Amino acid sequence: MSTSRLHALLLTAATLVAPGSARAAEAPAPPPTAQELASRLEQVSVRLEAAEKDLRFVETQFTQRPEPGEDELLLRRFSDGEIQYLLEDWAAASVLFYDLVGDPGFRAQGRYPDALFYLGDSLYRQKNYVGARIYLRELLTRSDTKHYRDALARYLEIAGRLNQLSGIDEYMERARRLSGGQLPPELEYVYAKWLFKRTDLPEAERRQRTRAAFQPLATTAGGRFQRQSAYFLGVLSVQAGDYAGAVEQFRPLAAEEAQEPEIQRLKELASLSLGRLLYELGRLDEALDQYARIPRGSESFVDSLYEMAWVHVKKGDFEQAKNATDILLLVGPEAPIAPDARLLQGHLQLKLHKYDEATATYEEVVGTYKPVRDQLDALLKTNQDPVAYFDKLLARNEGTLDVTTLLPPMALQFATTQEEVTKAVAMQQDLDSSREGVDESKAIATRILRALDERGLQVFPELQEGYQRADAVDSALVRTEQYLVQVEGDVLRGRLRPEELTALEGVRREREALGARLATLPTTPQELEARRERMQARVDELDRGAFQLSFELQSMKATSSAVRKRLDDTRAERTSTPEDEQAFLAQLHTEEQTVEALEARLKLLRSSLADERASASAFVSGEDLLRMQYREALHHEHALMAAAEQRLSGEDAALVARTHETRRRSELLRARVDTARQVLRAQVERRGAAIKGKVLAEQQLLQDYHQEVASVTGDARNLVGRIAFESIQKVRKQFYDLVLKADVGLVDVAFTRKQDKTTEIQKLSAQKDKDLRDLEKEFEEVLKDEN
C-alpha cells in the first residue's frame, strides 16, 4: 500500500470521530471550510457565555453571598414555625419551636416570648397538657404582656384538667394589674370555672370565692357570660343547701326565651334543676310544671319523664306515674335509664293491683337482662388472671382497647365507665408513643451522624444545589474542550504525519469510549431537574412497593391476632388435644417472629429509600472521575496535535489561535468552578460540625428520656387491664342489681297477691261470722220458743 493511500485512510478515520460527521458509504466527507470552522468556534463561545452565566449564578447565590449569622438562622426558624402555627400544623410547629426554645442563643431574642406561647398553644391543641403547662408557666413568669391573657386562659384550663392548682392567684393578680384592675370577661369566666372545680379548698371557702367571681358576670346585663354565670350561682346555692335561693336563681333562666343552641340547653338544664328542687321542697305541682317545659327534642326529655313519674308517685297518683313511664319507654326504649323505668313501671302496676301486667313486666326484665349477666360472668371467668387477660387483649389490638367491644350488645348502654378505660388506654398509648418516639429519635440521630460522615454535601439541599450547578458548569466546560479539540483536529487534518495520526487515533478511541457516558451528564439546570425527576420517580416506585409490602405485613399481623382471639374465645368448645394446640401455637409464634423480622428489614429499607430520595437524585457515582478522565484524554489529544500547529500558517493559524484563546477563557472558568466547589465544601464542613455537636447533645438527652420512660412504663404495668376488668365488673353489677330487683318484684307480686287473697278471705270469713251472728240474732226468739 502506498504512503499516499495510507495517508488518505488515516484522514478518513480522523474525520469519522468528529461530531456531526457523516459516514459516507463509499467516500469520506469533504473537510470543513474555514468559514464553517469559524462558525463552530462562535458556537463554542456562545456555550462558554452560557456556562459563565450559570457559574455567575452559583457564585452570587451560593458562594459569594454571606452566610447567615446565628441570629438570622434562629429568626428564620421562628418564621418557619410561625407559618406552621398559622397553618394549624401543630405537630410541625411544636417541633420547630421546641428547638428554638431550647437554644440558649434564642433566649435573648425579642421573639422568645412569642415562641413560648406558640409552643405551649401547639402542645395544648395536641392535648399534651403537661408539656403545654411547662412552657405557658414560663411565659407567665416573664415580663411579656402581649400573650399574657391568652396564655393565662390556657393555663387555667390546663390546671383544672391536671388538678395543678398552685400559683394561679398570683398570675391572676398580675393579670389584673396589667389590665388596669379589671380582667376581660373571658378570663374572669375561665377563672371562676377554675375556682368552681377546685378540690384543695375548704368547701365553704370554695363556694364563697367562686360566688364572688361569678357574681359580677351574672349581674352584667347583656354580658356574654351572664346566663352561664347565673346558672353556676344556682348550682352553688344547691351545694350550700339553699334550695329556695337556688329556685329563685334558676327561675329567670328557665323562663327566658332562647334562640342560640347553647342558651336553649342552659334553659332546659335550669328547668330540670327547678323540677328537682321543687320536688325536694314539696312543691310538687310546680315541679311538674317545670318538667313539662322541657321539649321532646331535648336530650333531657327522657330524664324529665322519669322524674315526673316519681313526682306523681310522691303525690300518690300511681296511674299518672305509670303513664309517664309508658311514654318514657315508648320514646326512649334504648335510653340508659330505660331499665330502671321498666322496674318502676312494674312497681306501679303492682301498686295498681295489676298483677298480671306487673308479673309480665318483671319477667321481661329478668328474661332480657339475666342472659346478659350470665355472659358477663362467663367473660370475667375466662381466665384465672383477668388483669393479664385484658392486658393480652390490649396487646392483641395493637394498643387500643374499647371495653364495649367485649360486652354483649345489650350491655353497651351500661358501659358508663368506658371513659376511665379510655383514659387509661390513652395513657398507655402515650407511654408507648413516648417509647417509640425515643427509639425513633435515636435512630434519626444515628442516621444524621452517619449522613454527615458519609454523605456530607447531600445533607444540605441548598448547598447541594449549588454544587450540582457547579458540576453542570464543569461538564459544560469539558464539552467545550471537546469541541475545541475537534475544531483543531479539523484544521490539522491534512497537516499530520502518519505516526501522529496513528497516535491520535488511539487516544481518540479511548476518549470516545468515555464520551458515551459523559454525554449523559447534565450541563444545564434544566437537564439537572430532568435527571432529578427521573431518579426520584424510580425511588418513589420502589417506596410504593415497600409500602404495599408493609400493608401486607400488617394484614398478616391482624390475621394472627384474630387467630389468637378465636383460640381464646372458643377454648371451651374445642375438642383438640393440648399437644395439638401447643404445636399450633408454636407454629403461629414462629410465623409471627418471621413477620416481625420482615417488618424490621422493611423499615430499614424504607429508611434507606428516604435517604436516597434526596441523594440519589443529586449525583451519579464517579461523575468527577469521569470528567477528569475525559479531560485528560482531551489534553493528551491536544498535546499530540500541538507539534503540528507549528506548521500552520495564514487562516488556519488564526483559527487555532482563536481556539487557544477560547481555551484560556474556559480554563479561567474552570478555576472559578473549582473555587466555588471548595467554598461549598467548606460551608458543608462548618454546618456539619455545628449539627453534629447538637445531635450528640440530643443523643445524651434521649438516653435520659429512655430511662425515664422505662421507669414510668414499669409503674403503669397492668394498669389498663385492671381498670378494664373493674369496669366490666361494674357493668355486671348493674345487671345483677336489675335482675335482683326484678326477682324481688316477682316475689312482691306473689306476696301482695297472696296478701290480697288472704285479706279477701279474711273479709269473707268476717262477713260470714257477721252473717251467722245476724242469723242467730234473728232466730234467737224462735230458738227460745222451741226450747
- Give tens-digit pLDDT for 23-45: 434 455 677 787 888 888 889 88
Longest dimension (CA), the chain: 189
Side chain identity, residue 709: V
**Pairwise pLDDT comparison (403 vs 60), residue with the higher score:** 60
Q: How far is C-alpha 84 from the chain's CA centre?
A: 15
The pLDDT, as a whole number, for residue 1 is 41
With beta carbons less than 8 A apart as the criterion, state whether 234 and 210 touch. no
Which of these ranges, 168-177, 324-333, 765-774, has the smallest mean pLDDT? 168-177
Side chain identity, residue 400: T
Q: Where are the alpha helices (H) located in 66-107, listed in sequence order?
A: 70-86, 90-101
Residue 389 lies in a domain: no
User: What span, in angstroms and rounded, lies between the C-alpha atoms of 327 and 307?
Assistant: 12
User: What span, in angstroms and rounded, lies between the C-alpha atoms of 113 and 526?
Assistant: 44
Residue 648 grid coordinates: 500552520
Burial class (CB in 10 A: 0-12, 13-18, 19+), 350: buried
Cβ-Cβ contacts under 8 Å for 135 (sequence gap 6 or more): 101, 116, 117, 119, 120, 123
Whether 180 has a pLDDT exceeding 80, the answer reads no
User: What span, in angstroms and rounded, lies between the C-alpha atoms of 37 and 659?
Assistant: 10
Domain boundary among 695, 715, 735: 715
Q: Binning pLDDT at 50, 70 and 90, where does residue 714 land? A: low
With beta carbons less than 8 A apart as the criterion, state whether 159 and 148 touch. no
With beta carbons less than 8 A apart as the criterion, state whether 469 and 524 touch. no
**Measuring CA to CA, which residue among 500, 481, 487 is closest to residue 641?**
500
Geometric angle at alpha carbon 493, from 10 and 498, rounded to 5°: 40
With beta carbons less than 8 A apart as the criterion, state whether 668 and 477 touch. no
User: What span, in angstroms and rounded, lies between the C-alpha atoms of 139 and 151?
Assistant: 8
Cβ-Cβ contacts under 8 Å for 783 (sequence gap 6 or more): none
The pLDDT, as a whole number, for residue 335 is 84
Q: Binning pLDDT at 50, 70 and 90, where does residue 382 land? A: low
**Pairwise pLDDT comparison (377 vs 87), residue with the higher score:** 87
Task: Give the pLDDT confidence of 453-500 residue by residue, as tens digits.
Answer: 777 777 787 888 888 888 888 888 888 888 888 888 888 777 777 887
Number of domains making up the chain: 2
The owner of cell 313539662 is 292
Domain interval for residue 172: 71-183
- Of the chain, the percentage scoring pLDDT greater than 90 comes to 20
Q: What is the DSSP string of 437-455?
A: HHHHHHHHHHHHHHHHHHT
The owner of cell 348502654 is 413
CA atoms within 13 A on the CB side of 329: 17
The mean pLDDT of the chain is 80
With beta carbons less than 8 A apart as the criterion, state whether 434 and 490 touch. no
User: What span, in angstroms and rounded, lies between the C-alpha atoms of 499 and 205?
Assistant: 113
**Measuring CA to CA, which residue among 66, 709, 95, 766 is closest to residue 433?**
709
Task: Give the pLDDT confidence of 510-530 residue by residue, as tens digits.
Answer: 777 777 777 777 766 677 667
3-class DSSP state for residue 477?
helix
Radius of gyration of the chain (CA): 45
The owner of cell 457559574 is 55
**Cα dihedral across residues 747, 750, 753, 754: positive or negative:** negative
**Measuring CA to CA, which residue among 722, 709, 712, 727 is closest to residue 394?**
722
Backbone angles phi, psi at 23, to 5 degrees: -90, 100
Write the CATH number for 132. 1.25.40.10
Residue 33 grid coordinates: 471550510
Residue 230 lies in a domain: no
User: What span, in angstroms and rounded, lies between the C-alpha atoms of 352 and 355?
Assistant: 8
Q: In the chain, count H helices and then E strands.
A: 28, 0
Side chain identity, residue 193: K
**Pairwise pLDDT comparison (646 vs 22), residue with the higher score:** 646
Cβ-Cβ contacts under 8 Å for 605 (sequence gap 6 or more): 546
Burial class (CB in 10 A: 0-12, 13-18, 19+), 623: middle
User: What span, in angstroms and rounded, lies between the C-alpha atoms of 512 and 382?
Assistant: 79
With beta carbons less than 8 A apart as the criterion, state whether 283 and 244 touch. no
Whether 450 has a pLDDT exceeding 90, the answer reads no
**Pairwise pLDDT comparison (728 vs 300), residue with the higher score:** 300
Whether 642 has a pLDDT exceeding 50, the answer reads yes
Residue 547 grid coordinates: 409500602
Residue 334 lies in a domain: no
With beta carbons less than 8 A apart as the criterion, state whether 84 and 96 touch. yes
User: What span, in angstroms and rounded, lies between the C-alpha atoms of 714 and 720?
Assistant: 13
Residue 782 lies in a domain: no
pTM for the model stands at 0.59
Q: What is the mean pLDDT of residues 643-672?
A: 84
Residue 353 lies in a domain: no
Whether 546 has a pLDDT exceeding 90, the answer reads no
535 to each of 91, 330, 377, 451, 454, how far by Cα in Å? Answer: 30, 68, 62, 20, 20
Whether 557 has a pLDDT exceeding 50, the answer reads yes
With beta carbons less than 8 A apart as the criterion, state whether 136 and 153 touch. no
Domain boundary among 715, 749, 778: 715
With beta carbons less than 8 A apart as the criterion, state whether 439 and 499 touch. no
Residue 62 lies in a domain: no
Residue 85 grid coordinates: 402555627
With beta carbons less than 8 A apart as the criterion, state whether 627 and 522 touch. no
CA atoms within 13 A on the CB side of 235: 16
Residue 351 lies in a domain: no
Side chain identity, residue 365: V
The pLDDT, as a whole number, for residue 620 is 47
Q: What is the DSSP string of 132-201?
A: HHHHHHHHHTSS--SSHHHHHHHHHHHHHHHT--TTHHHHHHHHHHHTTT---HHHHHHHHHHHHH--SS
User: What span, in angstroms and rounded, lies between the C-alpha atoms of 214 and 232?
Assistant: 7
Q: What is the mean pLDDT of residues 303-312?
A: 93
Q: What is the DSSP string of 482-544?
A: HHHHHHHHHHTTTT--HHHHHHHHHHHHHHHHHHHHHTTS--SHHHHHHHHHHHHHHHHHHHH
Q: Binning pLDDT at 50, 70 and 90, where does residue 117 land? A: very high
Q: Where are the alpha helices (H) located in 381-460, listed in sequence order?
A: 386-396, 418-454
738 to each of 414, 732, 741, how far by Cα in Å? Answer: 12, 10, 5
With beta carbons less than 8 A apart as the criterion, state whether 654 and 37 touch. no
With beta carbons less than 8 A apart as the criterion, state whether 271 and 303 touch. no
Domain boundary among 131, 155, 183: 183
Task: Give the pLDDT confidence of 730-746 residue by residue, as tens digits.
Answer: 888 888 999 999 999 99
Whether 647 has a pLDDT exceeding 50, the answer reads yes
CA atoms within 13 A on the CB side of 18: 26
**Measuring CA to CA, which residue among 31, 52, 53, 14 is closest to residue 655?**
31
Residue 251 lies in a domain: no
The owner of cell 334504648 is 334
